[in-house]
Amino acid sequence: MNQRPVKVAVLGQGYVGLPLAILATEAGHQVVGYDPDEVRVASLTEGRSYVEDVSDVRLAAALLKGYKASTQPTVLSNFDVAVITVPTPLTEGVPDLSFVLAATDTVADFLRPGRLVVLESTTYPGTTEELLGPSLESRTGLVAGIDFHLAYSPERIDPGNPQFNLANTPKLVAGITTQSLSMALDFYSSIIEKVVPVSRPREAELAKLIENTFRHVNIALVNEIAMFAHDLGVDIWEALDSASTKPFGFMRFNPGPGVGGHCLPIDPSYLSWHVQKSLGQKFRFVELANDINDHMPAYVVQRLMEGLNERQVPLRGSKVMLVGLTYKPNTSDLRESPGLQIANRLDALGADLLYVDSHVPLTTQIECVSLSAETIADMDAVVILTDHDDVDYRLIEQCARYVLDTRRRCYGPQVERL
Ligand SMILES: NC(=O)c1ccc[n+]([C@@H]2O[C@H](COP(=O)([O-])OP(=O)(O)OC[C@H]3O[C@@H](n4cnc5c(N)ncnc54)[C@H](O)[C@@H]3O)[C@@H](O)[C@H]2O)c1
């Protein structure tokens, strides 16, 4: 660590806040994680991590070094740096900043002159300067940029990514003044390999939304092509392999059963909402991408019905195994997962469902099984929705009568792909 240790309060101990709190502890800072969720805090206090990127071993070491999770706001007292990493969902299609505002109020109660407040939650341009700053000012009587410092630094964490983690992914940092920027750069460069200064928070806020909108739109593009390609009798996967041999001007995205998680189904709509509200204009790309990606779970169900129909099996009463319920491989994150939507549709249509997903806690309504030759052979269909690495795809190929594979992990005459 190249800066002096400070007291860091991280508000929100989820997929973003917990890895940050642990990394800051490892770098020598005194860290408290404030989260009103009693179950999460109890789990952390007992040394059980619910975020894949933080192992129980790392959590135990952090606890020994003084990291403390708490539901009590008083743990924030005397903080030097407060980082807000709370959810920014859509409520009835509209950005819901109530969590950010609640966390801001908590910070305000303990904010003292000279301290730094950073927002990391994904949000529309202007939030830090127009919402967070005034909110802190009105609660404390202190002036943002003069009495206390304020910054925005979007999170780029990619849960389950074996190559890029919080420490080695470049981090954008923007302050509302030069001094706010300098303090935020000091803090983040003590824990992250490369920090990238941005001149104002609104550009950093937009940068994060550009990253996620880019991904959302490109996944929608390839999903739409996949649906056409199937009807045209063209193998989309081989076409993508072929296009990917171009060494410039092309970036590969793969089709899938839809998009999930806290980012893609939500963040682009923050931008389209903001554009509509501020400019009265529609962000047409986002609307189209939402439309296509939202349709994918229904498309997968339709393809399954067609595949079963060809095998003279009605969907109602058929035995269907869903492989991978989370929205992306090697994580336990079920939020907005298209797998759940597909399961609900199939259940409503009368399919007899089982699922295989070692990452998902056993709290879903569908029966969870471990993969075995007998269970696979007993199924009318196996549907690969998310391709976790711990699944034996060769066993599925060998034993299944019919596989609908949305991720291209299986091969063979009984396998149909998206
Ligand atoms: N998950 C990702 O991969 C990812 C990646 C980049 C950015 N983000 C963004 O980061 C933000 C947080 O996402 P997440 O995935 O960590 O969410 P999460 O739901 O995993 O965690 C958020 C935590 O905040 C807590 N919380 C709620 N209200 C609070 C309050 N008033 N004070 C303190 N804590 C409070 C919740 O109990 C929860 O534990 C969102 O804006 C999200 O868009 C997420």
CA of 89 to the centre of ligand 1 (A): 9
At residue 257, the pLDDT reads 97
At residue 413, the pLDDT reads 96
Task: Name the residue of 54, 86, 107, 263 to mutate for ligand 1: max ligand atoms within 8 A of Cβ.
Answer: 86
Pairwise CA distance, residues 393 & 379, whole Å: 15
Pairwise CA distance, residues 178 & 279, whole Å: 29
50-54, 214-218, 325-329, 363-367: least confident range: 363-367
CA of 87 to the centre of ligand 1 (A): 4
Of all protein residues, whose CA lies closest to atom 35 belonging to ligand 1?
12
Banded pLDDT at 3 (limits 50, 70, 90): low
Compute the average pLDDT of residues 165-170. 96
At residue 364, the pLDDT reads 62
Domain boundaries, the chain: 7-199, 223-417
Binding pocket residue ranges, ligand 1, CB within 6 Å: 11-17, 34-37, 40, 85-88, 99, 102-103, 106, 121-122, 155, 157, 159, 262-263
CA of 20 to the centre of ligand 1 (A): 12
Pairwise CA distance, residues 166 & 23, whole Å: 8
At residue 362, the pLDDT reads 63
CA of 11 to the centre of ligand 1 (A): 9
Asked if 7-199 and 223-417 have one fold, the answer is yes
Annotated active-site positions, please?
A: 263
The pLDDT tens digits for 205-256 are 999 999 999 999 999 999 999 999 999 999 999 999 999 999 999 999 999 9
Atom of ligand 1 nearest to the CA of 333: 1
Of all protein residues, whose CA lies closest to atom 21 belonging to ligand 1?
14
Banded pLDDT at 22 (limits 50, 70, 90): very high
Task: Name the residue of 70, 83, 100, 262 to mutate for ligand 1: max ligand atoms within 8 A of Cβ.
Answer: 262
Atom of ligand 1 nearest to the CA of 267: 43
Of all protein residues, whose CA lies closest to atom 23 belonging to ligand 1?
12
Q: What is the β-pairing status of strands 149-152 and 116-119?
A: parallel
Compute the average pLDDT of residues 38-64. 96
Atom of ligand 1 nearest to the CA of 154: 7
Task: Name the residue of 11, 13, 15, 44 to mutate for ligand 1: max ligand atoms within 8 A of Cβ.
Answer: 15
Pairwise CA distance, residues 47 & 219, whole Å: 37
CA of 105 to the centre of ligand 1 (A): 16
Atom of ligand 1 nearest to the CA of 11: 33
Domain 7-199, CATH number (from 3.40.50.720, 3.90.700.10, 3.40.50.2020, 2.40.128.640): 3.40.50.720
Enumerate residues 6+ apart whose C-beta is below 8 A from 58: 22, 26, 49
At residue 1, the pLDDT reads 43
Compute the average pLDDT of residues 79-84. 98
Task: Name the residue of 83, 85, 156, 270 to mutate for ligand 1: max ligand atoms within 8 A of Cβ.
Answer: 85
At residue 131, the pLDDT reads 97
CA of 86 to the centre of ligand 1 (A): 4
Enumerate residues 6+ apart whose C-beta is below 8 A from 418: 226, 230, 236, 255, 256, 257, 300, 303, 404, 405, 406, 407
User: Residue 268 to residues 47, 142, 278, 284, 290: CA-CA distances in angstroms?
Assistant: 35, 33, 15, 11, 9
In this predicted structure, the answer to whether residue 321 has a pLDDT above a threshold of 90 is: yes
In this predicted structure, the answer to whether residue 365 has a pLDDT above a threshold of 90 is: no
Atom of ligand 1 nearest to the CA of 40: 39
CATH class of 223-417: alpha beta
In this predicted structure, the answer to whether residue 363 has a pLDDT above a threshold of 70 is: no
Atom of ligand 1 nearest to the CA of 103: 31
Instruction: Evaluate whether 183 touches 114 at the Cβ level (below 8 Å).
Output: no
Compute the average pLDDT of residues 382-390. 96
3-class DSSP state of 246: coil
Place of tokens 């469902």: 353
The model's pTM is 0.92
CA of 28 to the centre of ligand 1 (A): 24
CA of 110 to the centre of ligand 1 (A): 21
